[in-house]
Structure 1
Amino acid sequence: MKPLQILALAAFLPFAAPAGDLSVTGPGPVEAEGLTLAQFLWTQRPVVVFADTPADPNFVRQMQMIAARLDHLAERDVIVITDTDPAEPSELRRTLHPRGFSLVILDKDGQVKLRKPLPWDVREIGRAIDKFPLRRDELLEINPAGR
């Protein structure tokens, strides 16, 4: 995807935030339809939440936990992507091959770092991301004294 198209897409992300939390300027959940992992390479960390239906209790619980702490994810350059339609497989579903509910965390280099079959708290997601080598490098750039 061209940089201009990415900027245009990013301009609409604030409108994807949950209605109950208008103060969030972070990475509101976006649908997987039309997205590819390549467009997030080196810019954002995709956290992809898969389910076979939006009514899946694990999906509902995961999205509630994410909605409550979007700011925590924004600090880590996370974009939350959802896919709840296995009948019309998205590019991400075809690439990541989930089964039922699945939480997939990727790093900015496009590599899958974690797969979870059950919902995970945002605090746990953040801690896992903070252990990624690229995230550690980012933190050292922010605070060189932390070496």
Structure 2
Amino acid sequence: MRRILASALAALMLSGPAAHAADGAAGVPILEAGNHELSEFLWLKRPIVVFADSPADPRYVEQINLLTERLDILEERDVVILTDTDPAAQSTIRTELRPRGFMFVLIAKDGTKVLRKPFPWDVREITRSIDKLPLRQQEIRDQRNALP
């Protein structure tokens, strides 16, 4: 029951006009980081934050392409993607994470910064890191126990 309530709350929080899935695919929201704070996702989602100094940065383009190719796998792991390509705006998330140029950050549901990478990361590597997290291990056990 708690999982259903948490999912419903997350859907309400993330269903604003800025939330969308790339190409209408899976339900992984891709949001502008400047419109949000990391605390919004605490215990609900695992934010992946992608920073660059420009949306034309080849590393940024590659990272977004890598992520959007496998949105279905990220959706299973309660991921939300936040992007920030405007250093001049000094968003709350940019101020908190202090990127220099391109940076990829994976944050756990409890707010822990799990990964910080200065280069694009493949979804396979990302999901392996997520699947090692204690809360994700508990989610996997809960899913197994829920099967008939």
Same topology, TM > 0.5: yes
SS state at 2:74 partner: helix
Unpaired runs of 5+ in structure 2?
1-5
Q: What is the deviation of 1:143?
A: 1.4
Aligned to 1:10: 14
- Percent identity reads 48
CA deviations over 1:21-56 (Å, ceiling 9, x no partner) = 33x232131101121111100000000000010000
Q: Distance in 2 between matches of 1:124 and 1:132?
A: 13
CA deviations over 1:108-147 (Å, ceiling 9, x no partner) = 00110111110001111111100111111111111149xx
Greater share of helix: 2
**1:1-147 to 2 correspondences below 5 Å:** 7-12=11-16, 16-18=20-22, 21-22=23-24, 24-144=25-145
Contact preservation (8 Å) 1:13, 1:27: no
CA deviations over 1:91-112 (Å, ceiling 9, x no partner) = 1000011111000000000110
Contact preservation (8 Å) 2:19, 2:30: no
Normalising by structure 2, report the TM-score. 0.86
- Which structure 1 residue ranges, 4+ long, deviate > 4 Å from structure 2? 3-9
Q: Distance in 2 between matches of 1:90 and 1:12?
A: 19
Normalising by structure 1, report the TM-score. 0.86
Q: Distance in 2 between matches of 1:58 and 1:40?
A: 25
The count of corresponding residues between Structure 1 and Structure 2 is 140
Unpaired runs of 5+ in structure 1?
none
CA RMSD of aligned residues (A): 2.3
Contact preservation (8 Å) 2:33, 2:83: yes
Contact preservation (8 Å) 1:13, 1:28: no
